[in-house]
Amino acid sequence: MANHQHRIGMNRREFLQVGYSALLGLGLTSVLGGRATGSTATDPLRGSARPASSVIIVFLTGAPSHLDMFDMKPEAPAEIRGEFRPTATRVPGLHICEHLPRLAARANKYAVVRSLSHRENNHLVATHHVLTGHQQPGAFFDKVASRDDWPSYSSAFDYLRPRNDGLPTGVNLPTFLMEGPLTWPGQHAGFLGPRHDPWQITRDPNRPGFGMDSLRPAEGIDATRLDNRRALLSEIDAQQRQISRSAEGRRLNDQQNLAFSILASGRIARAFAIDQEPTAVRDRYGRHAFGQSLLMARRLVQAGVPVVQANMGIVQNWDSHADNFPRLRNTLLPPLDQGVSALLDDLESSGLLEDTLVMMLGEFGRTPRIFSINPGAVPGRDHWAPCFFGVFAGAGVRGGHVIGQSDRIGAYPATAPFSPDDVGATVYHVLGVDPHSEVRDRQNRPVTLNRGEVIQGLWTG
């Protein structure tokens, strides 16, 4: 899978995250620049401590088939069970897809929830629900992101636990979920405002030259000169108060402050120096976008970023209406299996797994019955929100067991279902905040952040 590639680019949101830095001559020509200048062979992040619990969201955008990965039905009719066969894992009685051999060997490290369920069969509204733990306000088919949306997990955490140490609370990588005019909701701070948006990094960490050297001060710019430039910028802003009162003006001010704090700390830039990782470590994750994005997630958590979302694939990459089995077998499952297995091993060996929740899921599942979308098309599975899976590891999660069951064809939960609201409550629980905390919407009205319940079975027998 060395040549595994995805279409990855840069968007305006990413550019705005450095504010007026290019105007000020700070060398921030892009969020992601070339290799670090004068870097040393010693990686300053390896072995460092991380003080607080964190979450890595491995998001399978487009929604993978639960019946072909973690909830297989080998006794069901052929049109249900599909082409793949289950394989035994390290845990007696637990079977998963034969094309996930590395994860099968590590089944003792994670728990599988097989009874996730909701009612949104549309990608956009379902993504919002899963990535915020709340239904999208005014949801309808293909409702794009707006400031009326509920905040992403990192955004709400940033609102409740603001920081000023130069590190972002959330980072999403390596793709921005957007297709034509459709911008996926759930990626931003929604009604909490742009100052709480997570970073959107849209460069492939597997590509040569990936780094964040551009977020360091240009050579010869020291802290004193940086402060002088901040004072100059304040004078300019004072002359443009009418502009700064606008929503976009306020956004630029927030992004200016973010850029300055990053330049002063340099910690996030060191985290992006992925070329400092030993070759053997990078190879274990896999030299593809999946693997290197997960390695970047580990580095960001190690640097102190509380919430990292790694989108495994471009928008709807797992949307297997057609060609389901060849795509899973040849393109999607091998790099995922390699990358997630390496992430679990790496977090465990570094001691980070003890208080880092790794959560892998999509926005829904796939239909039990296999079908051909057009005559002669390679068969696939359609959207199916009533039943899907999630994999959880770390942060004290009791590995090696299954929570919840689906019925005999994987159509509906056979036990009490868990909603995306419950997933959200679980994420907030791990981050150490009350899921039922009060936040303020755009009209400054008090609202309850989350109405779900923590999935206690992840930690209890």
pLDDT of res. 316 = 85
The tokens describing 57, both together, are 């969201």
- Whole-number pLDDT of residue 217: 44
**DSSP states along 173-196:** ES---EETTEE-TTSS-GGG-GGG
All structural domains of the chain, each given as residue ranges with its CATH number in brackets, are: 13-42+217-265 (no CATH), 53-206+278-458 (3.40.720.10)
Cα–Cα separations (whole angstroms), residue 152 to 68, 89, 170: 29, 34, 9
Q: Is the backbone peptide bond immediately before 77 cis, with ω within 30 degrees of 0?
A: no
- Mean pLDDT of all residues in the chain? 84
Q: Mean pLDDT, to the nearest integer, of 369-398?
A: 95
DSSP 335-392: HHHHHHHHHHHHHHHHT-GGGEEEEEE-SSEE-SS-B-SSTTPPPB--EE-SSEEEEE
Is 20's pLDDT higher than 90? no
**What confidence tier does 98 reach under pLDDT thresholds 50, 70, 90?**
very high
pLDDT tens digit sequence for 415-427: 999 999 999 999 9
pLDDT of residue 254: 62
Q: Measured between alpha carbons, how far is 194 from 189 in angstroms, rounded to an integer?
A: 6
Cβ-based burial of 336 (10 A; exposed 0-12, middle 13-18, buried ≥19): buried
Per the DSSP assignment, residues forming a β-bridge with 390 are: 113, 361
- pLDDT, one tens digit per residue, over 271-289 is 889 999 999 999 999 999 9
Q: What is the mean pLDDT of residues 322-335?
A: 97
**Band of pLDDT at residue 9, cut at 50, 70 and 90:** very low
pLDDT digits over 67-95, tens only? 999 999 999 999 999 999 999 999 999 99
Is the pLDDT at 2 greater than 80? The verdict is no
* pLDDT tens figures, 101-138: 999 999 999 999 999 999 999 999 999 999 999 999 99
The Cα 394–Cα 147 span in angstroms is 33
What share of the chain in percent tops pLDDT 70? 77
pLDDT tens digits for range 193-222 = 999 999 888 889 999 888 764 344 434 444
Give the span between the Cα atoms of 438 and 62, in whole angstroms: 31
Which one-letter amino acid corresponds to residue 42? T
Distance CA 136, CA 126 (A): 8
Give 260's pLDDT tier (boundaries 50, 70, 90).
Answer: low
Look at residue 48 in the predicted model and tell me its pLDDT.
38
pLDDT tens for residues 129-171?
999 999 999 999 999 999 999 999 999 999 999 988 878 999 9
Is pLDDT of 250 > 80?
no
Beta bridge partners of 359: 57, 392
**Mean pLDDT within 327-353:** 97
What would the pLDDT profile of 36-60 be if each residue is shown by its tens digit? 333 333 444 444 333 358 999 999 9
Cα separation, 245 vs 441, in Å, equals 20
> From CA 83, how far away is CA 5, in angstroms rounded?
25
Between strands 383-384 and 365-366, the pairing is antiparallel
**Residue 256 pLDDT grade (very low, low, confident, very high; cuts 50, 70, 90):** low
> Which amino acid is it at 186?
G
Query: Residues 213-243, buried b or exposed e (16+ Cβ, 10 A)?
Result: bbbbbbeebeeeeeeebeeebeeebeeeeee
Q: Please provide the distance, in angstroms rounded to a whole number, between the alpha carbons at the two ends of the chain.
A: 38
pTM: 0.83
The whole-number pLDDT of residue 270 equals: 85
pLDDT band at 21 (very low <50, low <70, confident <90, very high): very low
